[in-house]
Amino acid sequence: MRAFGNRSLVTTLAMSVLAFLYAPILVMMVFSFNDSQYTGLPFNGFTFRWYEALFRDDQMLTSIWNSVYVGLGVVVISVLFGVPAAIALDRYEFPGKGMFRRIVMLPIVLPGIITGIALLGFYLTIHLRLSLYTIMLGQGTALMCVTITEVFARLQQLGKSQAEAAANLGANDWEIFKNVTFPGIRSALFGAMLIAFSISFDEIAVTFLLTGRENTLPMTLWSLLRREVTPEVNAVATLIVFLSIILIVAGMYASRGNANEREA
Amino acid sequence: MTTGIELRNLRKLFEGHGHASWAVDGVDMTIGAGKFVTLLGPSGCGKTTTLRMIAGLEIPTSGQILRDGQDITDQPVTDRDMRMVFQDFALFPNMTIQDNVAFGLRVKSKRGKYTEPQIQQRVAEFLDLVHLKDHAYKKPHQLSGGQKQRVSLARALVTDPKVVLFDEPLGSLDANLRKIMQLELIRLHRELGKTFVYVTHDQDEAMAMSDAIAVMSQGKVMQFGTPREIYDRPANRYVASFIGHAHIVDATVDSKQADSLTVRLGNGDRVGVRGKADAAPGSAVGLMLRAEDLTFTDTAADAIGGKVVDSLYRGEYVEYVVALNGNSGVVHVHARTDLPQVAHGSTVALKVNPAKAHVVVH
Ligand SMILES: Nc1ncnc2c1ncn2[C@@H]1O[C@H](COP(=O)(O)OP(=O)(O)O)[C@@H](O)[C@H]1O
Ligand SMILES: [Mg+2]
C-alpha cells in the first residue's frame, strides 16, 4: 500500500466507490420494508406487506417462474453445445479454427437488439411460433459463447498431459472425460452456468423481440415501472439481490475448492 | 523373432504455421526386453517425440514400431500396456494419492482382473514400495515434487506393465533428491525385470543408469551402445564432445599398425592410439583427449608439449587448461591435488594413455 502513499486516502476512495455502487441497492431494500404506498421518505414503519402482496400477485409469480424456466433452459443449451465445442476447439486442429475462436464472442459484443432482430427474422422465416422456447433458443445460442470461452480457457490451462496419462493407463474416452476432463473444468463450467443464468435472468432486448404471449420478470417489471416504482417492485428486487449473493458465494466457493486441485 | 521394442526408420514431421520440421528423422533401434535403455541428447533433439511414438501418444509420420516382432505402429495408446512417467508427473489433481495409483487398475479395460480388495492391497503394496504409505489419503497438491514423482512411478508400476517409459522424470528435482531417485530406479529395474526406456538430457544420469544409450541429435541417433562404448569409443565428434566434454584435437594419421595407429598433431607431436580406425595414413582425423587420460611427464619423448594457461581447483582434482604448442588446440588435464602446483605459463609435457586415446573420423 505504501506505493499509493496515503493509506487513509485509499480507504476513503474505496469506501466511496462501494457506497456509490451499493447505497442505492441498500436504499431500495429498506424501502421494500417501508409501510407506505410510495417509494420515498418518510419511513412509516416496518412491514412485510409488499412481500405478501408479491406472493399473491399471479402475474408477478408467473413471470418470475418464466424467467427461472428460461434461465435454466439457457443454461442447459449453453452447456450441451458449449462444452463439446470447447473440447473440440481445445483438441482438434481444423481450418478456420482461429477465426471461429474470435467470432464466437460476437453475440456478447453485439447489442442485444441486433441479435434479437436477427433471430426474430430467422424464426419468422422458418415459421417458428414465438414462445418461451424461442427465447431460450435465442439467449442460449448467444450465451453459449460464455461457456465455450470459459471452458476452453480452462482446458488450455489444464493442458493435455493428464488426459494422456489416463489414456496411457488404459482409460477409454468416456473414462477420461469423467475422471479427468470434467473434474478439471467443473468450476469453470459452474461459473459459466452462473453467468449465463444471470445474464439471461435480466435480459430484456432479445426477450422483448422473441417472446410470444408470456412475460419474463424484467419485462413485467419494466411495464410496472412505466407508472412508478412500487414497493412491490422493491420487494422483488430485494429478493433477487439476495438470490444473486447466494449464487456469487456458491460460485466463489466452487472455484476456490477447485483452485488448489487444478495443478498437481 | 526379437523380443523387445524395435524402431524401424521412425520419422515424425510437425507441421504448423507455414513451416514443417522433422522432430524425429529416421530412428532405428532395438530395445531388448528387460533392458534399461536411455535416449540422451540436448533439448529439442526429438527424445520426447520418440518416446511418445513408442507410447502411442504421437502417430509416426513414417516408419514402424514393433513389439516382440509384431507391428504396433497403429495400435491405440489405450491398448499398448506401456506405462509412461511424465515429465510434469500428470497426476490427477482431484483424486487422492491412493486413487491416483489405483486408476490404472480400475479402468474398464482392466475390469474383472482385480477385485476391489485386491486393488486396495496392490495399491498399498506399491505405495509402500515408493515410501508413500503415509500419504495415501492426501491430494497431489499436498506433496513435494519428489513425492509426486514417486506417485507417478507407483501409478505406472502398479499395473504391472512390461514396458515403462520415462520422460525426464527427475528433471524438476534438486541434485540430492535426483541421486537418491536414480539409485531407486536402478533398484526397481533390477528387482522388477521390466523394460525401461528413459529420456534425459543429463549424461551423468544416462551413464550411471543405462544398459544402453542412444545419443541423439536433431532427430537422429548419433550412436547406440553401452555407456562404456559411448564414453570410450565415441563414433563421431558429436558424441565425443557431448559425452564427458572431451577435447578433440585435429590430427593426421601418420602410420597404421595391426591394432594401433600413430597420429600427428599440427605441431608435429606424435601420439600413439590403441585400437583400429577407419582412416588411411595421411587422412585428417580428430584425436579425442579426455582430461583424466592425460598426465604431466618429465620426459619430452612420446609426449605432447604445451603451456598451462589456466588452473581450477575442483576439490577432487586440479583442472589445468593447456594450450598445445603451435596453436594445435586446447586440452584439459586433471591432476591429483597432492602433486605440486604447476604455475601459469609453465611449459609442460603431457603423456597420453594410449589405451584411452581415441580417434574419431567423422
Ligand atoms: N506438438 C508439436 N508441434 C510442433 N513441434 C513440436 C511438437 N512437439 C515437439 N515439437 C518439435 O520437435 C522437436 C523435438 O521435440 P522433443 O521431442 O520434445 O525434443 P526433446 O524431448 O528432445 O527436448 C523440437 O524442435 C520441438 O519444437
Ligand atoms: Mg523432452
Three-class secondary structure assignment of chain A? CHHHCCHHHHHHHHHHHHHHHHHHHHHHHHHHCECCCCCCCCCCCECCHHHHHHHHCHHHHHHHHHHHHHHHHHHHHHHHHHHHHHHHHHHCCCCCHHHHHHHCCHHHHCCHHHHHHHHHHHHHHCCCCCCHHHHHHHHHHHHHHHHHHHHHHHHHHHCCHHHHHHHHCCCCHHHHHHHHHHHHHHHHHHHHHHHHHHHHHCCCHHHHHHCCCCCCHHHHHHHHHCCCCCHHHHHHHHHHHHHHHHHHHHHHHHHHHHHHHHCC
Q: List pLDDT tens digits, range A24-55.
A: 788 777 777 777 777 677 777 788 888 887 88
Interface of A with B (CB under 8 A): 159, 161-162, 164-172, 175, 179-180, 183-184, 260-264
Q: Between A28 and B334, whose confidence is greater?
A: B334
Residues of B with CB under 8 A from a CB of A: 55, 57, 77-84, 86, 88-95, 103-104, 107-110, 139-141, 148, 155, 159
Residue closest by Cα to atom 26 of ligand 1: B44
Closest among A161, A172, A176 to B89, alpha carbons compared:
A161
> Is ligand 1 within 6 A of the CB of residue B45?
yes
Please state, in angstroms and rounded to a whole number, the distance separating the CA atoms of residues A47 and A28: 14
pTM for the model stands at: 0.81
Contacts of A176 in chain B (CB under 8 A): none
**B109 to chain A, minimum CA–CA distance in Å?**
6
Q: Which residue has the higher pLDDT, A21 or A162?
A: A162
For residue range B65-123, what is the model confidence (pLDDT) as tens digits? 999 989 999 999 998 989 999 998 999 999 999 999 999 999 987 777 889 999 999 99
**Is the pLDDT confidence value at A5 over 70?**
no
State which amino acid sits at residue A7: R
Architecture of domain B4-232: 3-Layer(aba) Sandwich (3.40)
A223 falls within a domain: yes
Query: A232 pLDDT exceeds 90?
Result: no
Q: Residue A101 maps to which CATH number?
A: 1.10.3720.10
Could you list the residue range(s) of the whole structural domain that residue A184 is in?
A: 50-262
Whether the CB of B49 sits within 6 Å of ligand 1: yes
Q: Which residue of B has its CA nearest to A183?
A: B94
A254 pLDDT above the threshold of 80: no
Condensed to tens digits (0 to 9), the pLDDT of residues B344-354 reads 888 888 888 88
Q: What does the pLDDT read at residue B72? A: 94
Mean pLDDT, residues B4-24: 89
CA distance B203 to chain A (A): 26
In a domain, A38, yes or no: no
pLDDT of residue A264: 46
| Domain assignment present for A247 | yes
Nearest protein Cα to ligand 1, atom 5: B14
**Total of domains in chain A:** 1
What integer is the mean pLDDT of A240-253?
82
Q: Does A261 contact B93 at a Cβ distance shorter than 8 Å?
A: yes
* Cell numbers linked to B48: 520426447
Condensed to tens digits (0 to 9), the pLDDT of residues B143-180 reads 988 899 999 999 999 999 999 999 999 887 888 888 88
Ion ligand 2 residue ranges (Cβ < 5 Å): B 48
pLDDT at A1: 46
The answer to whether position A35 is within a domain reads: no
CB distance A264–B84 less than 8 Å?
no
pLDDT in tens, B26-48: 999 999 999 999 999 999 999 99
| Ligand 1 pocket residue status of B273, Cβ below 6 Å | no
**Mutate which of B51, B75, B78, B101 to test chain A, going by most A C-beta atoms within 10 A?**
B78
pLDDT 10s digits, A147-179? 999 999 999 998 899 999 999 999 999 999 999
pLDDT at A2: 53
B43 lines ligand 1 (CB under 6 A): yes
pLDDT digits (tens, 9 = 90+) for B271-325: 888 877 778 888 888 899 888 888 888 877 778 888 999 988 988 899 999 998 8
Instruction: Name the pLDDT band for A258 (thresholds 50, 70, 90).
Output: low
Average pLDDT over residues B189-197: 93
Residues 6+ apart with CB under 8 A from B55: A168, B77, B80, B82, B84, B165
* Residue B44 alpha carbon to ligand 1 centre in Å: 6
pLDDT score at B123: 95
Report the distance separating Cα B319 and Cα B321, nearest Å.
7
B246-360: CATH, from 1.20.120.1770, 3.40.50.2300, 3.40.50.300, 2.40.50.140: 2.40.50.140
Domain membership flag for residue A43: no
Ligand 2 centre to CA of B88 (Å) is: 11
Cell triple for B169: 522424470
Q: What mean pLDDT value characterizes chain A?
A: 83
The strand ranges marked E within B162-283 are 163-167, 195-200, 212-217, 220-225, 247-256, 260-265, 270-274
Q: Is the pLDDT of residue A256 over 70?
A: no
pLDDT (tens digit, 9 = 90+) per residue, A141-150? 888 888 999 9
CA distance B225 to chain A (A): 29
Domain boundaries, chain B: 4-232, 246-360
Bridge pairing between strands B304-313 and B347-352: antiparallel
Residue A145 Cα, gap to closest chain B Cα (Å) = 26
Any ligand 1 atom below 6 A from CB of B42: no
Are B103 and A161 inside 8 Å of each other by CB? no
Atom of ligand 1 nearest to the CA of B168: 21
Q: Is B286 in the pocket of ligand 1 (CB under 6 A)?
A: no
